[in-house]
Amino acid sequence: MANTFSIDTNKEPCPMIQNLANTLLQQAVLLSASDVHLIPFEQKYRILLRISGRLQFFTFLPLDNGERLLSHLKYRGFMDISETRKPQSGSFQTTIHGNNVSVRLATIPNFRFVESMVIRVFSDQEIALFQKSSIFHKITHHILSLAQNRTGLLLFSGATGSGKTSSMYSLAHSLSLREPLQIITIEDPVERPMPSFLQVQINEKAGLDYADIIRATLRHDPDILVVGEIRDAHTAKMVIRGALTGHLVLSTVHADSTYGVLSRLLELGVDQEELRQCLIGISHQRLCHLYCLFCKGRCHPLCNHLTQKRTALYEFIEKEQINQFFTTTSELEQTNTIKNQMKKGACYGFFSPQ
């Protein structure tokens, strides 16, 4: 991918680091990049952008300029500038082209204690409606209709970067458009600031983990509780408790399928009967690239033919299939699998026939 801005790679004169940082963030927002990677490479830094799920080479920086850029970003992210031997994380807010942008930083040193950094960029643009998150609207409307009961547990699974958090946010936001709702999110860390949500961040150093904050938020009269991840038995039991006490709880579980989520919860010691009572449904999702007529396949990051370059596909099971699994321990055959949706989408021209 061709560079879209020029950086003087000579050591003298050196561009102002603040301007360099701002320009880099502006380019990330302009190209809809989710992440910016600053990676030490011999005597320079290599800059890569992750656009539509794929890393694209952007440019090189001299090593000293790259180190100064990292120090500047660490300062803005309230990180320890002098510490280069340990991984660190931080965040800050900025404004780009009139839009609020949230920036999350993470550093890790290599064996020579030269730091690399990943910058995650969240543009504060209007969140998309959940109904429009997939090209197959029937399944998104069905999930939305189940969530409108506003009680029970709805779980999302999928690979890292498949959009699980975005799906939960989008679903909660779509429900809140119908009437005012108290929506509380518990995250580690808060990825996307939402003014209409009450967002709480995990702080393990202060002794605040998922389970402790869930317990506190249940006394805060939430209509919808969004829990970033069920990662241990204690958190799983508190999430179940929240769903059984009349709240709508949305959360994620790391599993490779919808039925894999059930197996994972049972491994964590969750009571089977409690799952029967509170589970509304389980979604497994994948982000798929849409076919571009001009690019003859996956749409190039600089092509503006498609306003939306990827779509979410949801594989969903609900109470009937869940209860059948608990009764027989066998998985019911699903017709609306992601694989079948891909084939259907290819017939309609949404996906590459290959």
SS3 of residue 183 by DSSP: strand
With CA atoms as reference, report the closest residue to 24 among 77, 76, 74, 69: 69
- Spatial distance between the Cα atoms of 283 and 155, rounded to a whole number of angstroms: 6
Q: State CA 273 to chain mean position distance.
A: 31
Q: Which two tokens stand for residue 267?
A: 């491994």
With CA atoms as reference, report the closest residue to 105 among 95, 87, 117: 117
| pLDDT tens profile 83-142 | 999 999 998 989 998 888 989 999 999 998 899 999 999 887 668 899 999 999 999 999
- Spatial distance between the Cα atoms of 49 and 342, rounded to a whole number of angstroms: 27
Tell me: pLDDT of 282 over 70.
yes
In this prediction, residue 225 carries a pLDDT of 96
Under the banding of pLDDT at 50, 70 and 90, the label for residue 15 is: low
Q: State CA 231 to chain mean position distance.
A: 16
In this prediction, residue 160 carries a pLDDT of 85
The predicted model gives 41-45 an average pLDDT of: 92
Q: State CA 95 to chain mean position distance.
A: 21
The predicted model gives 148-153 an average pLDDT of: 90
| pLDDT tens profile 202-251 | 887 777 888 889 989 988 999 999 999 998 999 999 999 999 999 999 99
In this prediction, residue 3 carries a pLDDT of 44
Domains of the chain in sequence order: 17-123 (3.30.450.90), 130-348 (3.40.50.300)
DSSP β-bridge partners for residue 268: none
Class of residue 6 by CB neighbours under 10 A (exposed 0-12, middle 13-18, buried 19+): exposed
Task: Report cis status (omega within 30 of 0) of the bond before 193.
Answer: no
With CA atoms as reference, report the closest residue to 133 among 160, 98, 164: 164
- Spatial distance between the Cα atoms of 31 and 269, rounded to a whole number of angstroms: 44
Positions of E strands within the chain? 33-41, 44-51, 54-62, 88-96, 99-109, 115-123, 152-158, 183-187, 198-201, 224-227, 248-252, 279-289, 291-292, 297-298, 310-318
* Bridge pairing between strands 88-96 and 99-109: antiparallel
In this prediction, residue 14 carries a pLDDT of 47
Q: Are 351 and 290 in contact (CB under 8 A)?
A: yes
DSSP β-bridge partners for residue 184: 198, 225
| pLDDT tens profile 156-170 | 999 988 989 999 999
Per-residue DSSP letter, 208: B
Tell me: pLDDT of 63 over 80.
yes
Q: With residue 66 as reference, give the H or E element that holds it.
A: helix 63-76
Q: Are 237 and 251 in contact (CB under 8 A)?
A: no
The predicted model gives 63-76 an average pLDDT of: 94
CA 213, 216, 217: angle at the middle one, nearest 5?
Answer: 85
